[in-house]
Structure 1
Amino acid sequence: MTNQQDNIAALLQDMKSSVSEFEQTEDMGILQRIDADFQRFAQLVTLFLIAERDTYYGYFLMSMAFRTNYAVSTIAGIRLGEYPPVFETNPLILLKYSLKEILYIFCHEIDHVVFNHPAEMMKSNPEGNPELFELFNYAADASVNDMLNAEIKHGKKFMQAPKGVVTSKVIRNKFRLSHVQPLESYQYYFDLIKHHANMLGEPQQNGIAPIPSGSAENNASPNNNAIPGGVATSNAITAAGAAGNINDHAWTFATEHDEPASESAEAMAEAVKELLNEVDSMMDGEARGLMPARFSTAVARANKPPALNWKAILKKYVGTIAADKVKTRMRLNRRQPQRFDLSGTRESKTLKIVVAIDTSGSVSDKEIEQIFSEIFAIIARRSFELTVIECDEEIQRVYQLKSPKDLPNRVEGRGGTSFTPVIEYINKRRYFRDALLIYFTDGYGEASIPRPLTYRNLWVVLGNTSNLSVENPYGLALPLEE
């Protein structure tokens, strides 16, 4: 053990003694001493991890503030909704672990942020289903802990996994799965287990690991109503034995007003991006070169331009399509308001969409069914008229749909591909002037087409959009895949 580790270990022992003293006396002044010691402890841990040189964890801790909170029932967490982000912990719980286990916990929480798990949790469970949150926690822990355990095997002897951490092996046994691949992403594990909520049984404490034995005497929190200012955010104190269940990943992003989960997820992702970039900027070339690939990959992923998808664009287009004008006797004519014999106009709230389907054989019937399910979900709250044009080398059918169940069992065609017949059909009919055209195709057809006289045009291409043969599609081309 290095001198630096000796200093950290000595300070940790002092804090452990303070925790024992507080449990026996409930002297509130001791909490202030623990609070001050933890700030120094966090600084020493930061310097130690930076000195390791081949780990990015120290640079993350340099970018954070540290806060003790004796009211929370979780070991630790990173609060992304503050600047700088705050590493928050309840020392009465954290200090039940050994030094190597505490270093593991620090790295564990950082890796959750590196892999953007706070935002992913919000995206995966917008309804806030507690069972899904719990399953997500298992999946995220298995992914992070497998990687940390692999680092330990490859020489990171400064940390040690607390007994009972969730790993891919735990996932396999708990959910009775025949085969679970180690060292996979949270998504892999989440997909494996999200239909097994009934197998959870008694949840494991604290997500990272059970509280170490020897703290059973703390099964009830001390009854204190006057915690020193700045020491805790609530009047209640949570000791180790009263720690909650597997909820250490209840990440939140504080906002002034309630907002949809999707917006909270975006805010979290942006905070993660900012933190990753700040950490990356601290490193020199040598330090950056020694970072594990997952960190550089996370930085690149965070800064990658957002991938547009056709459903998101369609939602925006639906909101911008101009309403049709219809004559009405209930309003005066705007140009000649004195002429009571002339009709005025009002906006029709009917949304016009024309969906052209390339039926040359590339788009399967199953894909077409899924496509229309998405379209109807997007326009569900609007009054709409949806026209379908099936076309391969020539137009095969034109019809209107009111719901997905009206969709024919199969499309007509399966010949070659030509886009011009659809464009000419639309351009000859004034009805489509204020419509949105969505053309689903594999992309292979003419190099040039007439300009569609519709309000907006969106091309949805199977595979890569570079497959679209049209040099000027007069609209946006997006891949069918998300």
Structure 2
Amino acid sequence: MGTYFDTLAAGLYEQANIIAAAFLKKKRSDAKAKLHIPQEFSEEFFSLVDKVNVSLMEDKDNFYGYFLLQMTREIRFDISSPTGVNFKGACYVIYFNPLIFLNLTLKQMETTIKHEILHIVSLHLVRAKEFKAGYSPLAINTAMNLVVNTYLDNLPPYAVTLEWVNLNYSLKLLPFEPFEYYVEKLQTAIDLLETDKDETADEENTTEKIETGYDPEKTHDIWEESSDIDEKTLTEFTEKFVIHAQKGSMPNYVENLLAARKNSKGELPWNIYLKRLMGTVESNKKKTITRRNRRQPDRLDLRGQLRSHKAKIAVALDISGSISDEEFQQAIKEVFAIVKNYKHELTIIECDNEIRRVYKVQSAKDVKERSHIRGGTKFTPVFEYANANKLDLLVYFTDGKGEDELQATPKSYKTLWVISGKENSLSLKKAYGAVKKLTNVQTKDTTLDMSHVSFRDGYSMNDQEKIHI
């Protein structure tokens, strides 16, 4: 296919440039001009895409070829990557920017299509939304691209690779790690290198435009155009696409991705969700001499600003009898593992049907042995405290059994419920926040622990000889 294919691609690339130039010329006199793509060009372009798909079908991993057959295809000159995907009208749509796509070799074209399909299989289109509030588009896009590119060969020269990221961000990221691992490390590195953007920058031009190069920060912007659909429904559609694509050989790594996704049930772990929330709480800023002033960079006498991430965080711990000591210890340990990298003011609230004790902590050593006064569970007192003390974030560890409705509505702070490993739901009809599940913990059985039994007659059964049965 080599020479003929290359000649066809080169000819289409010239036509694409003529189409783009005509549009830009027209736009200079009419800002609302629309890009016109001739029918003949579209037919020839998709004829070339068909040839790429034939090559995919002939590959030993023809899963991608069968998957592509199910997708709708469109041409977009305004996306900053050779291909892009989203979900519209009960179908996945793959978009091609001819000005970028046609510059690739056949094998690189195959790779960029595989790249998009792996994003779909990994449910990145919905997972990205979970992180949008707490992480930058650059960190999210780079992390997701790292996940899928690790499995691919024949990458385009500008593709995000582990080596490139480690070199450019001074990191030591490991291969084949989950998305959450990459996005957390990348966001930290980006924050250190980032120069503040001018808040008075011009608004983004919303009219049609031409993209001629790859931009990692905008490469997944097209996901925002997807139909408004819940995660469960999108997962079901994805599974149908996968089933119909399993007519031949499926790569082992795709099987592993599907298995991992199925085991996790697409649920974002509570500790990762907490990290995301902590990145969204309102933070103060502190002056620094290591960064120039954003508005007057030439004034060396003016200091710049850094985020200090100082916010009021409260951790409510349900001490009722239904929460085990093991679960209590795990909750505390994981919270401190998360907050140790932040400068937050952390308050512990021990509660059951009322607040039993409130105290501030700096480290895990400051956590007191929990109270042995244990009643039922009532959530309202904690929210009354949170409202009165103007918190930024409330994390509530509980077994989920309490009132049906809160008597105190949360005010301007975020709430994360973390439910005991034994339970699956929250009794409240409206949670006013995300509800996640705590990892199951092995609970110690103390029903026959005689050390907890006191004797009044001067001796214990522990003093007797062992009986051999």
The CA deviation string for residues 271-291 of structure 1, in whole angstroms up to 9 with x for no partner, is 25423432323434xx2xx31
In the TM superposition, what is the alpha-carbon distance from 1:442 to its structure 2 partner? 9.2
| 1:209-358 superposed matches below 5 A | 236-240=208-212, 246-250=217-221, 251-252=223-224, 254-255=226-227, 266-267=230-231, 270-284=233-247, 287=248, 290-301=249-260, 303=262, 306=265, 355-357=319-321
The CA deviation string for residues 22-63 of structure 1, in whole angstroms up to 9 with x for no partner, is 467669877443222122222222222112132421122111
- Return closer, same or farther for 1:272/1:92 CA change in 2, 3 Å cut-off: farther
- Return closer, same or farther for 1:83/1:198 CA change in 2, 3 Å cut-off: same
Q: When the two structures are superposed, what TM-score results if normalisation uses the length of structure 1?
A: 0.53
1:15 is the counterpart of 2:22? no
The CA deviation string for residues 411-442 of structure 1, in whole angstroms up to 9 with x for no partner, is 3589xxxxxx96xx769xxxxxx955999989
In the TM superposition, what is the alpha-carbon distance from 1:16 to its structure 2 partner? 2.0
Take 1:278 and 1:193, find their aligned partners in 2: how far apart are those partners? 31
Bigger radius of gyration: 1
What is the root-mean-square deviation of aligned Cα atoms in Å?
A: 4.9
The CA deviation string for residues 157-184 of structure 1, in whole angstroms up to 9 with x for no partner, is xxx222232111111111112x322233
Contact 2:71 / 2:94 at 8 angstroms: preserved in 1? yes
Percent identity between matched residues is 17
| 1:390-401 superposed matches below 5 A | 400-401=355-356
Contact 2:121 / 2:238 at 8 angstroms: preserved in 1? no
* Aligned partner of residue 185 in structure 2, secondary structure: helix
**Which amino acid in structure 2 is aligned with residue 281 of structure 1?**
H
Match of 2:95 in 1: 88
1:181 is the counterpart of 2:180? no
The CA deviation string for residues 178-203 of structure 1, in whole angstroms up to 9 with x for no partner, is x322233322222222112245569x
Match of 2:440 in 1: 463
The CA deviation string for residues 103-161 of structure 1, in whole angstroms up to 9 with x for no partner, is 2221222222222222221112236x5xx111111112222222213xxxxxxxxxx22
1:163 is the counterpart of 2:157? yes
| 1:337-416 superposed matches below 5 A | 355-357=319-321, 362-363=326-327, 367-368=331-332, 387-388=351-352, 400-401=355-356, 409-411=367-369
1:147 is the counterpart of 2:151? yes
**Which amino acid in structure 2 is aligned with residue 67 of structure 1?**
E
1:64 is the counterpart of 2:71? yes
**Which amino acid in structure 1 is aligned with residue 176 of structure 2?**
L
* Aligned partner of residue 85 in structure 2, secondary structure: strand
* Aligned partner of residue 278 in structure 1, secondary structure: helix
Contact 1:357 / 1:441 at 8 angstroms: preserved in 2? no
1:134 is the counterpart of 2:138? yes
Take 2:105 and 2:421, find their aligned partners in 1: how far apart are those partners? 59
Q: Which runs of 5+ in 2 are unaligned?
A: 26-34, 196-205, 271-316, 337-348, 378-400, 405-416, 430-436, 448-469
1:196 is the counterpart of 2:189? yes
Match of 2:285 in 1: none
* Aligned partner of residue 113 in structure 1, secondary structure: helix
Take 2:446 and 2:403, find their aligned partners in 1: how far apart are those partners? 21
In the TM superposition, what is the alpha-carbon distance from 1:295 to its structure 2 partner? 1.9
- Return closer, same or farther for 1:41/1:255 CA change in 2, 3 Å cut-off: same
**Which amino acid in structure 2 is aligned with residue 139 of structure 1?**
A
Take 1:310 and 1:405, find their aligned partners in 2: how far apart are those partners? 26
* Aligned partner of residue 42 in structure 1, secondary structure: helix
* Aligned partner of residue 152 in structure 2, secondary structure: helix
Contact 2:145 / 2:160 at 8 angstroms: preserved in 1? yes
In the TM superposition, what is the alpha-carbon distance from 1:79 to its structure 2 partner? 1.2
Take 1:244 and 1:29, find their aligned partners in 2: how far apart are those partners? 24
**Which amino acid in structure 1 is aligned with residue 185 of structure 2?**
L
Match of 1:348 in 2: none
**Which amino acid in structure 2 is aligned with residue 236 of structure 1?**
E
Take 2:208 and 2:442, find their aligned partners in 1: how far apart are those partners? 57
Take 2:209 and 2:420, find their aligned partners in 1: how far apart are those partners? 61
Q: When the two structures are superposed, what TM-score results if normalisation uses the length of structure 2?
A: 0.55
Take 1:140 and 1:62, find their aligned partners in 2: how far apart are those partners? 24
* Aligned partner of residue 88 in structure 2, secondary structure: coil
Take 2:160 and 2:51, find their aligned partners in 1: how far apart are those partners? 28
**Which amino acid in structure 2 is aligned with residue 280 of structure 1?**
I
Match of 1:108 in 2: 115
Contact 1:78 / 1:109 at 8 angstroms: preserved in 2? yes
The CA deviation string for residues 356-382 of structure 1, in whole angstroms up to 9 with x for no partner, is 15798535557359789xxxxxxxxxx
**Which amino acid in structure 1 is aligned with residue 253 of structure 2?**
R
Take 2:335 and 2:192, find their aligned partners in 1: how far apart are those partners? 34
Contact 1:143 / 1:185 at 8 angstroms: preserved in 2? yes
The CA deviation string for residues 195-226 of structure 1, in whole angstroms up to 9 with x for no partner, is 12245569xxxxxxxxxxxxxxxxxxxxxxxx
**Number of residue pairs matched?**
322
* Aligned partner of residue 170 in structure 1, secondary structure: helix
